[in-house]
Amino acid sequence: MAEPQTCGEGLARRSALPAQMSALTAAIADVLETHQHTLDLTDEHAKKEQQAYRQLTKDYRRITSQLRAIADRMLGYRDLQMARHHVQSMEAPEIREVLANAMERERELAALLKMWVDTDQAMLGDIIDPTHPGSPAAAP
């Protein structure tokens, strides 16, 4: 993939991250909200769990909205005109360090998401097929 020609194009291209994070946080909020329907509210622990899930759902919905707004704003900057940059500043060690740190966080996030996808895929398999190995229903 060719590098963007302007910083505005780079911002627009990188708007995919908050957009995808927004979609993920919305999906997590849906899971938290839906899970509440499985609780037996005659149990005191279930009532506490419901309170926790309600608060987290609200928090996730707020984050979802903020991430979507950031993504939209970044995308809106795609037509920024090329600005003059100080070449010496762009080559400074701290610029490389900041970029390397961001790349490491990207790697860590990718690994975390892969682990969650694998775990959730197994859980979904257990829900769809109760005879699936590892499913509580499949236990002797």
Residues 67-120: pLDDT tens digits? 999 999 999 999 999 999 998 888 899 999 999 999 999 999 999 999 999 999
0.85 exceeded by the pTM?
no
Across 18-25, average pLDDT: 98
Please tell me the distance from the alpha carbon of residue 135 to that of residue 140, in angstroms, as a whole number: 10
Measure Cα distances from 76 to 3, 8, 9, 116 in Å: 18, 8, 10, 32
